[in-house]
Chain A
Amino acid sequence: MIRNPFCDLQPMKAEPARPVSRREFLHLLAATGGAGAVVKASAALGLLPASAEASTLQLAPGNGRSALILGGGLSGLTVAHELAKTGWDCTILEASQRCGGRIFTVRHGTLIDELGNRQVCDFDDAPHLYFNAGAARIPSTHRTLLNYCKELEVELEIFVNENKSCWVQDDAMLGGRPVRNAEYTTHMRGFLAELMAKAMTETDMDEPFTDSEAETLLGMIRSFGNLDEEHVYRGSFRAGHASGGYLDDGVQKDIIALRDLLKTRLGMGLLRASEGETGPILLQARGGMDRIVDGFLRQIGDRVRYRAMVASIDVRDDGVEVACDHDGSRRQFRADYCFNCIPTHLVTGLDHNFPADYVEALGYVRRGAAYKAAFQARERFWEQQDIYGGITWMTNPSRQIWYPIAGIHQRKGVILGAYDYINGMHHTSMTQQQRVEAHLADGEKVHPGYRELVERPVTVAWHRMNHMLGCSARWPRDSGGWSQAEQARYRLLQAPLNGRHYMIGDQISMHSAWMESALLSAHWALNDLDLRLRNSPA
């Protein structure tokens, strides 16, 4: 199964039905229950790239060689920074008024250049009032990115992803009443543990456990679900207190019946939060993710030409010629080498001299349609509900509400009011007014009075963002994963065309939609070129 890296809590497809032998019973219980972290570890391994050492470069001196970098996305900025360090002459041609591409922080005065729906953000002007409309989370295993943050002095802070105090809401469950994540997951785990304990005591195992193994296992199951001596779940303080607990006797919250919990499919995601790519500690750049872009620009700022929209690429034996539209005129550039992070589906619209198979591969990659929206909140009402950071999950189309860590206990805050990574076209195809109304109505179900509590909406439909037209490359077309033909296309695009033109970005990786992938793709290209130059006579 292909995991969408945007999201940790994407509802999983149910396991395919198959005949169950007794020996598989326990396995199956665990696997379908979402307690299957262990059972599924091997499957997960294939999906989570190995945590590696940070990729670093040792490039040979540039000796005045020149490079054109098409697009000021993270990978383009990285190439420019690394080449500039080693004495290359490099220029970034960036179509829009800013660098960073999908690293996009929206704050007071930011232009959101969504085609057909341009907006200028009118949040109050304060450092904590920002919204990461693109990249928002840095897993602590993304070592190359973290290395750059260190090198470029980008201040980091913890990002809170899973927060048990946040809400879970489904119209189909309990008449739409939101429940705390802790309530939902505690009860669900209790019921799951009961089933597991039962299975353990009643199933004949082909390979029986020793007494001590069985005792340990049963102990874990009991602890997992907070079962009593009889292996029965009778509620738990883990779900929160109904009252008391400090100076008076604590009173447990009532159990929510299993049947009610099963009314929503959100549990599948909730029970595997903080696993996979969001398992490591997550970080964010203090003040907005675009502080990373600022860090690169401090090093390479004057090498960027803004509003320089590439129109043609001519790859030759001795270099690359590029034309771009800049300030109403078409200008020609040439360089020895070219690194291109323009989205593949936009490259196909340029004038070029690429061979047919290369064009076919570029055209093969599809684009995702993630959608995000945010509001400025007049007051930090979530803090009154014990919520500091984290995500509320809903089955309605707005899907998620994110509460900010930035600006704790200040008066206002910016909350994410919608994030749909799979079916973003739902909101994309609405007018701005319809989008906002939809998010207000959805949020109202979790936070009564929401409509009055939030203001100044901004929406970002990546499918329509100028010079991007997508949230990330979608390579495999089959849910089974990459086909051989797809891998061949990927390798074709990764290799330099005529030794001169490199496609880069997370789109040229097997793990798109992560900044780390964009960096590793840039490093791959730089290393490849370095090797070629070292091996060829000057």
Chain B
Amino acid sequence: MPITCPFRRLFRICLLAAAASLAGSAMAAPGERLDDRYCTTCHGADGRGNEAVQAPKLAGMASWYLRLQLENYRAGIRGAHPGDIEGLAMQPMAAGLTDESIEDILDWIGGWKVIPATPTISGDVAAGAALYRTCATCHGAAAEGSEALGAPALAGQNDWYMVTQLENFLAGARGAHPEDIRGAQMRTMTAVLGGEQDIRDVVAYINSLTARMVE
């Protein structure tokens, strides 16, 4: 039975405004249908996340948060630090998006089936729970996120991705850009994390919140 999702289709030939300045390079082909909905190649079907390309789950994430991240990537506020290997892979994907295109994409993402991520990392959940008390202030007791505080939901997110982010915040590869206000807030919070083991423990605890979400 065909299941039809009523996507708003938005075809754009946004191509190559930038490339046109090169030695006569590449112009848009007439009739080639192109849009910016190429996210699922990396982020997986329905944005479920794909560890093999290190692209996290997008399905189920709040629009306000996704919008901010896409704007940050586009402006080079996120994904520009040489230590942010995966962010550097994502940054060019957002560099050419227009506001209109971002809204179209958020619309599209809103229609995706949400499948909470499967855990891949284990740690000391009790120790993680203790650490998470600080985090709960902003991310919420169930890690459901808070728009008012700018903190995204963490429950349901890929654990390997959260580990990368915490490592990057700690190392200053994320949240160090002078215009990254929210990232800077989060970065200071990593002070409570002593190192790799703490990161695993707190992420293991978040996994347990994900499990509750599934129930």
Measuring CB to CB, which residues of chain A are less than 8 angstroms from any residue of chain B? 95, 97, 109, 111-112, 115-122, 309-312, 323, 325, 328-332, 344-346, 348-351, 362-363, 367, 429, 431-433, 436, 454-458, 464, 466-467, 469
A-B pairs with lowest CB-CB distance, top 5: A349-B44, A349-B50, A116-B92, A345-B52, A311-B45
Residue of A nearest to B8 (CB): A328
Check B2 against A456 for contact (C-beta < 8 Å): no
Interface: B19 (CB within 8 A): yes
Known: A120-B29, A329-B4, A332-B2. 13 other contacts (CB 8 A): A115-B38, A116-B93, A119-B16, A119-B26, A325-B40, A328-B5, A345-B50, A348-B44, A348-B50, A349-B49, A436-B25, A456-B24, A456-B25
Contact for A432 among B9, B19, B29, B38, CB less than 8 A: B19
Contact for B41 among A312, A330, A431, A466, CB less than 8 A: A466
Check B24 against A455 for contact (C-beta < 8 Å): yes
Distance of B102 from chain A, by nearest CB (Å): 15
Residue of B nearest to A309 (CB): B40
Residues of A within 8 A of B148 (CB): none
Q: How far is the CA of A122 from the CA of B30 in the complex (A)?
A: 12
Check B41 against A351 for contact (C-beta < 8 Å): no
Check A351 against B45 for contact (C-beta < 8 Å): yes
Residues of B within 8 A of A323 (CB): 3
Contact for B4 among A119, A310, A330, CB less than 8 A: A330
Q: How far is the CA of A530 from the CA of B116 in the complex (A)?
A: 39
Check B28 against A346 for contact (C-beta < 8 Å): no
User: Given the interface contacts A120-B32, A329-B4, A330-B3, does A349 sit within 8 Å of B25 by beta carbon?
Assistant: no
Check B2 against A117 for contact (C-beta < 8 Å): no
Interface string of B2-30 (1 = CB under 8 A from A): 11110101000001101101111111110
Check A122 against B45 for contact (C-beta < 8 Å): no
Q: How far is the CA of A367 from the CA of B41 in the complex (A)?
A: 14
Check A332 against B3 for contact (C-beta < 8 Å): yes
Check A432 against B15 for contact (C-beta < 8 Å): no
Residue of A nearest to B82 (CB): A429
Residues of A within 8 A of B46 (CB): 311, 351
Check B41 against A362 for contact (C-beta < 8 Å): no
Q: How far is the CA of A432 from the CA of B25 in the complex (A)?
A: 10
A selection of 11 A-B contacts at a CB cut-off of 8 Å is: A111-B29, A115-B93, A120-B27, A329-B7, A348-B52, A349-B40, A349-B48, A433-B21, A436-B23, A455-B23, A457-B23
Interface: B127 (CB within 8 A): no
Distance of B28 from chain A, by nearest CB (Å): 6
Residues of B within 8 A of A455 (CB): 23-24
Q: How far is the CA of A109 from the CA of B113 in the complex (A)?
A: 37
Residues of B within 8 A of A458 (CB): 25-26
User: Given the interface contacts A331-B2, A469-B41, does A351 sit within 8 Å of B16 by beta carbon?
Assistant: no
Residues of A within 8 A of B15 (CB): 118-120
Q: How far is the CA of A346 from the CA of B52 in the complex (A)?
A: 8
Check A429 against B96 for contact (C-beta < 8 Å): no
Q: How far is the CA of A349 from the CA of B158 in the complex (A)?
A: 12
Residue of B nearest to A344 (CB): B52
Interface: B213 (CB within 8 A): no
Distance of A351 from chain B, by nearest CB (Å): 5
Interface: B163 (CB within 8 A): no
Residues of B within 8 A of A311 (CB): 40, 45-46
Distance of B49 from chain A, by nearest CB (Å): 7
Check B41 against A348 for contact (C-beta < 8 Å): no
Check A111 against B24 for contact (C-beta < 8 Å): no
Most buried by A among B22, B34, B49, B93: B22
User: Given the interface contacts A118-B15, A312-B45, A469-B41, does A346 sit within 8 Å of B50 by beta carbon?
Assistant: yes
Q: How far is the CA of A36 from the CA of B24 in the complex (A)?
A: 47
Distance of A534 from chain B, by nearest CB (Å): 34
Contact for B45 among A349, A362, A432, A436, CB less than 8 A: A349
Distance of B165 from chain A, by nearest CB (Å): 19
Residues of A within 8 A of B51 (CB): 348, 363
User: Given the interface contacts A330-B5, A345-B53, A458-B26, does A469 sit within 8 Å of B45 by beta carbon?
Assistant: no
Q: How far is the CA of A456 from the CA of B28 in the complex (A)?
A: 14
Contact for B28 among A120, A310, A331, CB less than 8 A: A120
Most buried by B among A109, A120, A431, A455: A120
Residues of B within 8 A of A309 (CB): 40
Check A332 against B1 for contact (C-beta < 8 Å): yes
Distance of B91 from chain A, by nearest CB (Å): 8
Q: How far is the CA of A457 from the CA of B19 in the complex (A)?
A: 10
Residue of A nearest to B1 (CB): A332
Check A122 against B24 for contact (C-beta < 8 Å): yes
Distance of A486 from chain B, by nearest CB (Å): 16
Check A109 against B4 for contact (C-beta < 8 Å): no
Q: How far is the CA of A467 from the CA of B1 in the complex (A)?
A: 26
Check A120 against B23 for contact (C-beta < 8 Å): no
Contact for A349 among B16, B43, B92, CB less than 8 A: B43
Residues of A within 8 A of B25 (CB): 119, 122, 432, 436, 456-458
Residues of B within 8 A of A431 (CB): 18, 92
Check A363 against B26 for contact (C-beta < 8 Å): no
Residues of B within 8 A of A111 (CB): 29, 32, 34
Distance of A248 from chain B, by nearest CB (Å): 43
Interface: B125 (CB within 8 A): no
Residues of A within 8 A of B43 (CB): 349
Interface: B88 (CB within 8 A): yes
Check A117 against B92 for contact (C-beta < 8 Å): yes
Most buried by A among B1, B25, B55, B113: B25
User: Given the interface contacts A348-B50, A469-B41, does A120 sit within 8 Å of B26 by beta carbon?
Assistant: yes
Check B50 against A432 for contact (C-beta < 8 Å): no
Distance of A513 from chain B, by nearest CB (Å): 18
Interface: B42 (CB within 8 A): yes
Residue of B nearest to A365 (CB): B52
Q: How far is the CA of A349 from the CA of B46 in the complex (A)?
A: 9
